[in-house]
């Protein structure tokens, strides 16, 4: 006998079929779009370096919810829980500070062996890994200038760090037979009136040129660069601005990383995807939710998320790598992963369930009335029933059931930490 979820799905399937949409096909496509979960939601961006420095560098994890992972084993256990509650293809995005090493290692000396336990974990899960050098939370980043520092010694240290990270990323991609995306974001910037912006940018450019001078096969790793508008303490000038990295990525054929919180408050990344893809082969997204500023709130099912998802589907999901980037310490961290990732997936599904050809035709024919009417009607279509069925098919709790699991784990594991 069909379950309630299946019955609801069949009713939804019929409704979508009546507007020419094949729900089975949409679910098949959805199951193949990977979402990269950011490890740093699990421990408030602290990392596992001995003498950890915390965030700094203009980013801020706020809140004091109990249960933070204190070591790689705990973080992996928490990720196992999250992965078991999220359907579809998943990757894990690591930062260099998440190394698993018995004793302190300088950041310019880190190597693939320090990430062996993560690679093994990913192998077991059949998940790809992504990677990031960490330029913040470190005494050598105290001036808020790293790759663009006027101090050659500081620059050298961070160039070495980035080069070491590219080797780690390549090792991850090689072992997992799945290219690792390495995203470079530096907080470099100035608090107040900045006179010589061009020299700072020239220094950043020269450092990046040196970092990328070693050619590594895209079979193993791909490089992305992430711009930003401003950070706390560096409000007046960010060296790696949007224009800087757009030019740099295009010139050097790198991936451009668009973070939803890194632009002016009314500027949206959904409108940038189609332009970026005209000049670049692939891009990376940091799907986040800025509230008044780059606050990195948990991703909700808001208009911009739906717009981002529609662009990914329209422009080609194979060219857009989806990463999440937020860190909320006021709620359960595993729930934060589940809510944000499941929302990203629901938004992708909703986009996949749009009668795209029909909508495009209307737009081309200037049928604005019909297009708006159809888009509004679609908002009440039962995509939730389709998502529930997806969860069930993938052996993952549907609806709110995943939260019971998280609550149980919270009581039995997290609150005992």
Catalytic residue numbers, as ranges? 185, 226, 228, 259, 262, 286, 294, 296, 325
Task: Give the C-alpha separation, 401 to 335, whole Å.
Answer: 12
Contact in structure between 374 and 359 (CB atoms under 8 Å): yes
Nearer to ligand RNT by Cβ, of 27 and 305: the residue is 305
Contact between 228 and Zn ion by CB under 5 A: the answer reads: no
Q: How far is the CB of 56 from Zn ion (least distance, A)?
A: 15
Contact between 45 and ligand RNT by CB under 6 A: the answer reads: yes
Contact between 95 and Zn ion by CB under 5 A: the answer reads: no
Contact partner, 40, from ligand RNT, Zn ion, none, Cβ < 5-8 Å per class = ligand RNT
Nearer to ligand RNT by Cβ, of 226 and 328: the residue is 226
Contact partner, 227, from ligand RNT, Zn ion, none, Cβ < 5-8 Å per class = none
| Coil/strand/helix, residue 258 | strand
Site for ligand RNT in 47-86 (CB under 6 A): 59
Contact partner, 166, from Zn ion, ligand RNT, none, Cβ < 5-8 Å per class = none
Contact between 141 and ligand RNT by CB under 6 A: the answer reads: no
What's the distance, CA 339 to chain centroid?
14
Residue nearest to Zn ion (CB): 286
Going by C-alpha positions, the residue among 184, 167, 95, 85 that lies closest to residue 131 is 95
Task: Give the C-alpha separation, 341 to 338, whole Å.
Answer: 5
Contact between 286 and Zn ion by CB under 5 A: the answer reads: yes
Task: Give the C-alpha separation, 411 to 404, whole Å.
Answer: 11
Task: Give the C-alpha separation, 119 to 113, whole Å.
Answer: 9
Going by C-alpha positions, the residue among 326, 394, 338, 321 that lies closest to residue 173 is 321
Task: Judge residue 50's burial from the number of C-beta atoms within 10 Å of its C-beta, 0-12 exposed, 13-18 middle, 19 or more buried.
Answer: exposed
Task: Give the C-alpha separation, 227 to 407, whole Å.
Answer: 37
Contact partner, 294, from ligand RNT, Zn ion, none, Cβ < 5-8 Å per class = ligand RNT
Q: What residues pair up with 90 in beta bridges, in sequence order?
A: 35
Q: Using CA of residue 299, residue 302, residue 304, residue 309, what is the dihedral sign?
A: positive
Contact between 342 and Zn ion by CB under 5 A: the answer reads: no
Q: How far is the CB of 415 from Zn ion (least distance, A)?
A: 30
Going by C-alpha positions, the residue among 349, 342, 344 that lies closest to residue 398 is 342
Dihedral angle computed from the Cα positions of residues 343, 344, 345 and 349, in that order, rounded to the nearest 10 degrees = 100
Q: How far is the CB of 204 from Zn ion (least distance, A)?
A: 17
Residue nearest to ligand RNT (CB): 185
Q: Between 255 and 294, how does the x/- string for binding to ligand RNT read (CB under 6 A)? A: ----x--------------------------x-------x
Going by C-alpha positions, the residue among 114, 129, 138 that lies closest to residue 37 is 129
Q: How far is the CB of 237 from ligand RNT (least distance, A)?
A: 15
When binding is defined by CB under 6 A, the residue of 282, 325, 328, 410 that contacts ligand RNT is: 325
Nearer to ligand RNT by Cβ, of 146 and 398: the residue is 146
Nearer to ligand RNT by Cβ, of 141 and 349: the residue is 141
Contact between 185 and ligand RNT by CB under 6 A: the answer reads: yes
Contact between 259 and Zn ion by CB under 5 A: the answer reads: yes
Task: Give the C-alpha separation, 329 to 297, whole Å.
Answer: 10
Task: Give the C-alpha separation, 250 to 416, whole Å.
Answer: 49
| Coil/strand/helix, residue 161 | helix
Q: Between 201 and 230, how does the x/- string for binding to ligand RNT read (CB under 6 A)? A: -------------------------x-x--
C-alpha distances in Å from residue 188, one per residue of 16, 239, 251, 312 = 49, 6, 21, 30
213 φ, ψ to 5°?
-65, -30
Contact partner, 176, from ligand RNT, Zn ion, none, Cβ < 5-8 Å per class = none
Q: How far is the CB of 59 from ligand RNT (least distance, A)?
A: 5
Contact partner, 37, from ligand RNT, Zn ion, none, Cβ < 5-8 Å per class = none
Using CB under 6 A as the binding criterion, the count of chain residues that bind ligand RNT stands at 12
Contact partner, 48, from Zn ion, ligand RNT, none, Cβ < 5-8 Å per class = none
Which residues make Cβ contacts (< 8 Å) with residue 51, sequence separation at least 6?
Answer: 104
Contact between 132 and ligand RNT by CB under 6 A: the answer reads: yes
C-alpha distances in Å from residue 256, one per residue of 37, 157, 196 = 18, 24, 25
Contacting residues toward ligand RNT, per CB under 6 A: 40, 45, 59, 95, 132, 185, 226, 228, 259, 286, 294, 325
Contacting residues toward Zn ion, per CB under 5 A: 259, 286, 325
């Amino acid at each position: 006998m069909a379950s309630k979820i299946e019955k609801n799905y069949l009713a939804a399937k019929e409704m979508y079929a009546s507007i020419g949409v094949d729900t089975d096909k949409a679910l098949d496509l959805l199951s193949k779009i990977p979402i990269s979960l950011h490890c740093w939601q699990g421990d408030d961006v602290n990392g596992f370096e001995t003498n950890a420095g915390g965030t700094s560098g203009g980013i801020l994890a706020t809140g004091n919810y109990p249960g933070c992972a204190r070591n790689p084993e705990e973080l992996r256990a928490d990720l196992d829980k999250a992965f078991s509650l999220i359907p579809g293809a998943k990757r894990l995005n690591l930062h260099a500070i998440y190394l698993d090493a018995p004793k302190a290692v300088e950041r310019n000396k880190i190597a693939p062996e320090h990430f062996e336990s993560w690679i093994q974990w990913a192998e077991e899960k059949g998940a790809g890994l992504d990677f990031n050098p960490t330029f913040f939370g470190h005494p050598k980043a105290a001036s808020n200038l790293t790759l663009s520092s006027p101090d050659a010694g500081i620059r050298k240290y961070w160039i070495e760090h980035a080069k070491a990270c590219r080797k780690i990323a390549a090792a991850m991609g090689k072992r997992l037979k799945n290219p690792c995306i390495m995203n470079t974001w530096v907080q470099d910037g100035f608090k107040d009136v900045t006179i010589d912006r061009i020299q700072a940018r020239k220094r950043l450019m020269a450092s990046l040129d040196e970092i990328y001078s070693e050619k590594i096969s895209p079979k193993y790793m791909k490089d992305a660069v992430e711009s930003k508008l401003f950070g706390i303490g560096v409000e007046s000038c960010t060296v790696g601005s949007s224009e800087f990295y757009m030019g740099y990525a295009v010139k050097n054929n790198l991936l451009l990383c668009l973070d939803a919180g890194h632009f002016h408050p009314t500027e949206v990344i959904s409108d940038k995807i189609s332009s970026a893809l005209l000049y670049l082969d692939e891009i990376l997204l940091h799907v986040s939710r800025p509230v008044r500023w780059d606050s990195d709130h948990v991703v909700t099912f808001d208009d911009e998320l739906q717009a981002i998802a529609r662009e990914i589907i329209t422009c080609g999901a194979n060219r857009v790598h989806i990463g999440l980037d937020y860190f909320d310490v006021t709620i359960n961290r595993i729930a934060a992963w589940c809510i944000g990732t499941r929302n990203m997936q629901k938004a992708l599904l909703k986009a996949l369930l749009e009668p795209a050809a029909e909508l495009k035709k209307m737009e081309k024919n200037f049928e604005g009335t019909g297009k708006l009417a159809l888009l509004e009607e679609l908002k009440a279509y039962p995509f939730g029933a389709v998502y529930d069925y997806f969860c069930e098919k993938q052996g993952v709790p549907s609806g709110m059931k995943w939260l019971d699991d998280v609550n149980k784990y919270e009581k039995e594991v997290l609150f005992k930490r």
